[in-house]
Amino acid sequence: MKLSTYSFKWFTILFLLVALQAQSQHTEAYKHPPSEVVTIHSRVLNEDRKVYVHCPKSDSADLNKRFPVLYLMDGDNHFELLAQYADYLSRPDVSAMPKIIVVGISNTKRTRDLTPTNSIMDYLGKPDSSSYKLSGGNENFLQFIKTELMPLIDKSYQTEPYKIFAGHSFGGVSAINCMLTHPDMFDAYIAVSPSLWWDNEYLLKMTDEKLKTGSVLNKMLFYSNGNEGGSNSFFHKHLLKLNSTIAKKKLKRLDYMYKHYPSETHMTEPIVAYFDALRFIFKEWGKDR
Amino acid sequence: MKLSTYSFKWFTILFLLVALQAQSQHTEAYKHPPSEVVTIHSRVLNEDRKVYVHCPKSDSADLNKRFPVLYLMDGDNHFELLAQYADYLSRPDVSAMPKIIVVGISNTKRTRDLTPTNSIMDYLGKPDSSSYKLSGGNENFLQFIKTELMPLIDKSYQTEPYKIFAGHSFGGVSAINCMLTHPDMFDAYIAVSPSLWWDNEYLLKMTDEKLKTGSVLNKMLFYSNGNEGGSNSFFHKHLLKLNSTIAKKKLKRLDYMYKHYPSETHMTEPIVAYFDALRFIFKEWGKDR
């Protein structure tokens, strides 16, 4: 009896050892392609700003190569997404766009920075001073990008002059406002579901007034909306109005694309819209090679 | 003259100090939500296998929560993409799907693992023994997942029983083959551009023979193709054939979706197809809350 208990014990230990070996495993941290967080002091905005920077993985052929830069608003929402699209779509076996640098701008006072006018009206036209009191700082924010951020990025990374400006919602408002007021800052503009309701359709009026062939020669523009408020929503109507305003002008050499995603919400749409925007902007890429 | 040189020196130093301060910046590494690389020894496959595991960021409400698991083939291609979709789409302000765990399986011998039969014929029907000599190991690969990988993941992470199996190209072949031969292994199957040309349309025949209501009750299936070979290509024809075969069977409670992306290539399509697949699989999620 004792011997059999003894044998049983050893058998159990042996069994556990074999079982352990079968499950032998080793765990380590997954390494993402590296990105950087750069904190800079902005004198224009009088505050520290954080930006996220993702550079292409360089191989020996890239050592002296320079890359286009995509500047992205709402960096905390969509920086990882854009960095990954850029990496994946520029892989040699995918080859849908060039390698680019992605700069994601983190927010401090989002409404202040991403709205072109001071207005306290919400999308229903009702006053909401607690949310919108500080609005109207977009020109300052664009000056920060132009005079402080861009020189820093150009100094620190292997940039080429080609630049894209991308934003969602209020970020889309900023992209269009930038194209209207400082068209030469960027070569391509992406406005995913821009909040065209802002300040009594301010941007729609400005587009009608200001958009001229001369200022947007050889520029590209992508804009879109999801199902915000259903198919009869003001969001969709505004985008259709923007689209017809642009179409009517018959602008020479402004290459633009409008996409409507009826099954996507305001927050799911950026995933597919940013992908389509990159595909649009780089549609000719690689064709002459 | 000396004094003026002296002043000039100090002025230069002062200017440099001011200039430096204006560009004051601080750079640190960007931190991604963590993922793990788990290396396990498979007795079924007689080799070490690497899998990448991404768990949702847990907050205090999640401490005892369990999560569905998405098993992804070709982990080296699309793991980061799926992990990011899962994180972003489950954010409280996006709320398009539940938090899930993503397990990306890295390849060793891809053709061996992801093809259901031994065949040396390429997509044109020509023999290519150097590429396809070892093909036909999909049953073994599925046994590895079922008897080794799944138990390990269930033991090591906070999983719930709901599981998704996702693959692209040969990975799409594996997803469909698994649904036909081991339908109960997963609750939902994603086949992005499955290579239905494999072995003289083996899977199309098998689908016609084997797919029955009883085996796919309450299952979900997403399949798609891009522009492989243009609109008249064998790829597109095969997917249309799969779609009509499934439609004809009028399977009760198999919820399926077919999507065609005419402007995407074989390699760009997964970005949008995996997004649409997740949106499809979780279309009812959150509606009853």
Return the percentage of chain A with pLDDT > 70, whole number.
91
The per-residue pLDDT for B100 is 98
Nearest to A107 by CA among A53, A49, A56: A49
The per-residue pLDDT for B1 is 46
Looking at the domain that runs over A36-281, which CATH code has it been given?
3.40.50.1820
Chain B's closest residue to A25, CA to CA, is B40
Whether A27 and B36 lie within 8 Å, measured CB to CB = yes
pLDDT tens figures, B239-260? 999 999 999 999 989 999 999 9
Domain extents in chain B: 52-281
Q: Which residues of B touch A264 (CB under 8 A)?
A: 279
The per-residue pLDDT for B18 is 55
| Strands lying side by side in the sheet with B219-225 | A25-29, B35-42, B47-54, B101-105, B67-72, B159-168, B188-192, B219-225, B254-260
How far apart are the CA of A94 and the nearest CA of chain B, in angstroms?
Answer: 5
How far apart are the CA of B106 and the nearest CA of chain A, in angstroms?
Answer: 12
The span from the first CA to the last CA of chain A, in angstroms, equals: 82
Chain A's closest residue to B20, CA to CA, is A41
For residue A128, what are the contacts with CB-CB under 8 A and spacing of at least 6? A120, A121, A122
Residue from A25, A40, A48 whose CB has the most chain B CBs within 10 Å, to mutate: A25
- Name which residue leads in pLDDT, B230 or A156: A156
pLDDT tens figures, B66-112? 999 999 999 999 999 999 999 999 999 999 999 999 999 999 999 99
Chain B's closest residue to A28, CA to CA, is B37
| E strand segments, chain B | 25-29, 35-42, 47-54, 67-72, 101-105, 159-168, 188-192, 219-225, 254-260
Q: How far is CA A218 from the centre of its chain?
A: 21
How far apart are the CA of B38 and the nearest CA of chain A, in angstroms?
Answer: 4
What span, in angstroms and rounded, lies between the C-alpha atoms of B52 and B37?
5
What span, in angstroms and rounded, lies between the C-alpha atoms of A166 and A176?
10
For residue A72, what are the contacts with CB-CB under 8 A and spacing of at least 6? A78, A79, A82, A102, A103, A104, A105, A166, A167
What span, in angstroms and rounded, lies between the C-alpha atoms of A236 and A193?
9
For range B273-278, the mean pLDDT = 98
Q: Which residues of B touch A53 (CB under 8 A)?
A: 30
pLDDT confidence band for B153 (50 / 70 / 90):
very high
- Name which residue leads in pLDDT, B231 or A183: A183
Dihedral (CA of A113, A116, A119, A122) sign = negative
For range A44-59, the mean pLDDT = 94
Residue A3 has pLDDT above 90, yes or no: no
Residue A1 has pLDDT above 70, yes or no: no
Residue from B18, B20, B24, B25 whose CB has the most chain A CBs within 10 Å, to mutate: B25
Cross-strand bridge partners of residue A224: A192, A259
Q: Which residues of B touch A37 (CB under 8 A)?
A: 27-30
DSSP class per residue in B122-183: -TTS-B-HHHHTT---HHHHHHHIIIIIHHHHHHHS-EEEEEEEEEETHHHHHHHHHHHH-G
Q: Which residues of A touch B27 (CB under 8 A)?
A: 36-39
Whether B26 and A43 lie within 8 Å, measured CB to CB = no
Residues A86, A87, A92, A98, Cα dihedral to 10°: 30
Task: Calculate the alpha carbon distances from B113 to A55, B187, B201 in Å.
Answer: 34, 21, 18
Rg of chain B over all Cα atoms, to the nearest angstrom: 25
Whether A26 and B38 lie within 8 Å, measured CB to CB = yes
For range B200-205, the mean pLDDT = 97
ipTM of predicted complex: 0.91
Whether A271 and B37 lie within 8 Å, measured CB to CB = no
Whether B39 and A25 lie within 8 Å, measured CB to CB = yes
Whether B40 and A52 lie within 8 Å, measured CB to CB = no
Residue from B20, B21, B24, B32 whose CB has the most chain A CBs within 10 Å, to mutate: B32
How far apart are the CA of B27 and the nearest CA of chain A, in angstroms?
Answer: 4
How far apart are the CA of B209 and the nearest CA of chain A, in angstroms?
Answer: 35
Whether B275 and A279 lie within 8 Å, measured CB to CB = no
Q: Which residues of A touch B54 (CB under 8 A)?
A: 30
Residue B143 has pLDDT above 90, yes or no: yes
The per-residue pLDDT for B274 is 98
| Strands lying side by side in the sheet with A101-105 | A254-260, A219-225, A188-192, A159-168, A67-72, A101-105, A47-54, A35-42, B25-29
Q: Which residues of A touch B22 (CB under 8 A)?
A: 41, 43
Whether B271 and A29 lie within 8 Å, measured CB to CB = no
The per-residue pLDDT for A163 is 98
Q: Which residues of A touch B41 (CB under 8 A)?
A: 21-22, 24-25
For range A105-121, the mean pLDDT = 98
Chain B's closest residue to A18, CA to CA, is B43
Which stretch of DSSP H or E encloses residue A164?
strand A159-168
What span, in angstroms and rounded, lies between the C-alpha atoms of B256 and B245?
12
Whether B271 and A28 lie within 8 Å, measured CB to CB = no
Domain B52-281 homologous superfamily, CATH: Alpha/Beta hydrolase fold, catalytic domain (3.40.50.1820)
Residue B141 has, within 13 A of its CA and on its CB side, a CA count of 29
